[in-house]
Amino acid sequence: MDEKKTLKQMREQYGISQSKLAEALNVSASTIYNYEKDSSKIPDSLLKKYMYAFDIKYDYIFLGIEYDIFVFENKMMEDILERARN
């Protein structure tokens, strides 16, 4: 089963800069930056563009504020390390 990914993780996985993604999604680079910090209020229209561009289902996208993302990423890292130990 795929792990959930943040908007930033999806972008970085493919080595895409914020400015290049912003250009492709027809938004400003600051919009990308802001939603990577707090994606909890991302408009559905932009979220749908992310889902289509990255070919990912809604269930696999982690949406939240920066602190939630930090906690989520640490939990994911702990889960990976625990599975590696077993």
The residue among 34, 44, 45 whose CA lies nearest residue 8 is 34
Q: 38 forms bridges with which residues in the sheet?
A: 65
pLDDT of res. 2: 66
42 falls within a domain = yes
CATH at residue 75: 1.10.260.40
Helix axes 18-25, 44-53, angle to 10 degrees: 110
Residue 1 lies in a domain: no
φ, ψ of residue 5 in degrees (nearest 5): -125, 145
Which tokens sit at 78? 């702990």
Question: Is 47 a domain residue?
Answer: yes
Please report whether residue 2 resides in a domain: no
Range of the domain at 32: 7-85
Global pTM reads 0.79
pLDDT surpassing 60 at residue 22: yes
- Tens digit of each residue's pLDDT (9 = 90 or more) over 42-82: 999 999 999 999 999 999 999 989 888 888 889 989 999 99
Structure confidence by residue, pLDDT tens digits, 25-42: 999 999 999 999 999 999
Q: Is residue 57 part of a domain?
A: yes
